[in-house]
Amino acid sequence: MVSSNDFKTGMTIEYQGNIYQILEFQHVKPGKGQAFVRSRLKNLRTGSIIDYTFNSDEKMPRAIIEKKKMQYLYDDGNLMAFMDMETYVQIDIPSDNLAYEKNFLIEGESVTVIEYQGEILGVQVPEKVVLEVVETAPGVKGNTAANATKDAVVETGYHVNVPLFVNVGDKIIISTADGKYNSRA
């Protein structure tokens, strides 16, 4: 059991039948009344973020999350296959559960699979990925407006805005946190 007074950023707890990761917390001690802990929690099953206030010294079970390094193998349309590189055990995760993450996954990529008591909660992709541009309009010479961008499609089918100098065949670095162009590789 963990007390709300012992919260740390990144800690995972089980509360009201869900598994939450603590994103932010703040201990508040008003001049009058009991102290409390204001927190921002991320539901690891749904991905939703909520603000919740706990009473001081409220106790709840700590959720022990397992993180396994795995290799992405393929997507058959309904399921995405991953393999543990140590045991060679393969697992399948429904494609619908990884709608955002699959924009950044290419075959052979190493990812971290997040699991809680045998339940697959999701996949953590690297902070930045290198992907090849497969479709974009050619840059127009003389179009030098500040921060001018154009739409591009990368090898996973993801659409991203890129600077005018990026062409088909270029490898670019994309930040997975916000899905935006970072630089050329």
Cα–Cα distance measured from residue 27 to residue 38, given in angstroms and rounded to the nearest whole number? 6
H/E stretch holding 40: strand 36-43
Could you give the 3-state DSSP secondary structure of residue 64?
A: coil
Nearest to 122 by CA among 182, 43, 35: 43
How crowded is residue 115: how many other Cβ atoms within 10 Å of its Cβ? 14
Q: For the domain made up of 2-60, give the CATH fold.
A: SH3 type barrels. (2.30.30)
For the chain, give every domain's residue range: 2-60, 66-124, 128-184
- The confidence score (pLDDT) of residue 138 equals 81
Do the domains 128-184 and 66-124 match in fold? yes
- The confidence score (pLDDT) of residue 185 equals 82
DSSP string, 152-180: EEETTS-EEEEETT--TT-EEEEETTTTE
- The confidence score (pLDDT) of residue 146 equals 67
* Cβ-based neighbours of 74, under 8 Å, separated by 6 or more: 80, 81, 107
- The confidence score (pLDDT) of residue 96 equals 85
Q: Which CATH number fits domain 66-124: 2.40.50.140, 1.10.8.100, 3.40.50.300, 3.30.70.20?
A: 2.40.50.140
pTM given for the model:
0.74
- The confidence score (pLDDT) of residue 177 equals 86
Cα–Cα distance measured from residue 185 to residue 119, given in angstroms and rounded to the nearest whole number? 36
- The dotted CATH code for 128-184 is 2.40.50.140
How crowded is residue 8: how many other Cβ atoms within 10 Å of its Cβ? 8
Average pLDDT, the chain: 89
- The confidence score (pLDDT) of residue 32 equals 86
Phi-psi region of 76 (alpha: psi -120 to 50; beta: other; left: phi over 0): alpha
- The confidence score (pLDDT) of residue 142 equals 62
Cα separations in angstroms, 144 against 148, 151, 165 = 7, 16, 10
The two three-digit tokens of residue 32, written as one number = 């009058």
Q: Chunk the chain into consecutive blocks of 10 residues (it has 185) and report each block's average pLDDT, rounded to whole numbers.
A: 89 91 91 90 88 91 91 91 92 87 90 89 90 86 70 93 90 91 88
- The confidence score (pLDDT) of residue 149 equals 85
